[in-house]
Structure 1
Amino acid sequence: MLRKSFLPILLLLCVVCDGKRRWNYEPISVDPNTSDSNKLDIDVRIKRMPRGEFAYDGHVNFNYDVGDDTMIECTAFRSVSGREEDYTALPWGIPKQIYTKFIKDFYQDLIFKNFHSCSNLPTPDNVLPFKRDNYSFVECVVNGDGLPDIVPQGYYKIVATVTGEVEFGFVTISRITDKFMP
């Protein structure tokens, strides 16, 4: 009898502990900004795709040399309702740091893995120094690489800020829902 009751528990543990991402990501909005559109032009938007998917689409035109005075910081917030006043800060974030440290610590595992298949971003071994170029993003669906496997449902706001010769960044809001496992 013990053997029969143990089998469903074992199967459940195998399904739950398989190390796969347990959530779906739906971008709601993206609001880019720049202090000098001649040196850095950002046009990124959310595009509706077939089968109810949403993707990032647009370009970032770097027309200046990124120097060691350039700092990058990302802050994350979560809300159950999605109302602006309900967002609370999360411990997930990227502390303010020089761009070369950001590239070494986060570019390959977070940025490149999520956007390499739909953009012309440089490969991790060719990203430093960051080159002047028009980086395009075509129907980029974030697959969640570099992000936690288990995330509570809700609305997430990411505020990315870059300071230096040009100040720019974006605010993006996304909805996370539980993934239904087969």
Structure 2
Amino acid sequence: MWTYSFKFLLLLLFILPIVKALGNEKTWTYTLVDITVTSSDESQVKAEARIERMGRGEFGLSGQIILGILVPPSIDVEVLTYRSADSGQTYKLQPYGVQRQGIYNVLNNFYKNIIMESAKDCSNLPYFKDNITEVGPATYYFEKCQVKTDSFPQYMPEGFLKIVMLSYGEVEVKCEVIVNIEKKTF
């Protein structure tokens, strides 16, 4: 009887990690590598961002965004994603991103669903329940923010991702973030 229970326990110890890995667990992790932000008119939008070390192998984004204007709804935004399998030597456009659309549509969807929850405890960036219809003038700070990956795919191929956020219109802003996607070790 004891050997049967022991064998069953050993079987569970080996099977549970495999079942967990096949469940909702992400098979990947990311490390922030680089961030750059530029603006065509810093009197309207000025931004600076940097990567800060938070601990061993853990990094977050810090910086500020100064909006000198009430952001007009005529500004369009798009997010493009590129992948490199050769350590950032060459990048290829990927099928996921945000198609060019009005800024408030992007804020009420992409920002609200992907970024807002991650930023609420490390910044004074807008946090809202319904929809946001006006932003600025204001100064926003963020300190050691990390993007939660809950709404991201379970599997991501290894390599470097370059995420490029572009705005078009009265002021053009470009934010480029490079992350390294690696297999998660269980």
Category of TM-score, reference length = shorter chain = 0.7 to 0.9
Superposition CA RMSD, Å: 2.1
**CA shift digits 1:53-88 (9 cap, x unpaired):** 11111101111111121100010011112233x211
Paired with 1:42 and 1:104, the residues of 2 have a C-alpha distance of: 21
| 3-state SS of 1:72 partner | strand
Residue in structure 2 matched with residue 91 of structure 1 by the alignment: 95
Counterpart Cα distance in 2 of 1:140 and 1:93: 21
Q: CA deviation at 1:7?
A: 7.0
Match of 1:152, SS?
coil
CA contact (8 A) 1:113 1:145 kept: no
User: Contact 2:28–2:181 (CA<8 Å) still a contact in 1?
Assistant: yes
Pairs within 5 Å for 1:95-114: 95-114=99-118
Letter in 2 for 1:87: Y
User: What are the ranges of 5 or more consecutive residues in structure 1 without an aligned counterpart?
Assistant: none
Rounded to whole Å, the distance in 1 between the matches of 2:16 and 2:99 is 40
Residue 141 of structure 1 deviates from its aligned partner by: 2.0
- Name whichever of 103-112 and 23-32 sits farther off: 103-112
Name the SS for the 2:96 alignment partner: strand
Q: How many Å apart are 1:12 and its aligned residue?
A: 5.5
Judging changes above 3 Å, is the alpha-carbon distance between structure 1 residues 40 and 22 closer, same or farther for their aligned structure 2 residues?
same
The TM-score normalised by the length of structure 2 is 0.86
- AA aligned to 1:32 is V
- Partner residue in 1 for 2:3: none
Q: Which of structures 1 and 2 has the bigger CA Rg?
A: 2
* Residue deviations 1:34-71 (CA, integer Å, cap 9, x gap): 01111111010111222221111110111111112110
Instruction: Give a deviation string over 1:113-148, Cα, whole Å, max 9, x none.
Output: 222221111112363212321111101122223322
Who is 2:158 aligned against?
153
1:24 is displaced (CA, Å) by: 1.4
State the shift of 1:9 in Å: 8.8
Shift of 1:104: 2.2
SS at match of 1:14: helix
Decide which of 14, 22, 41 is 1:17's aligned counterpart.
22
How many pairs align?
176
Q: Which amino acid aligns with 2:168?
A: T
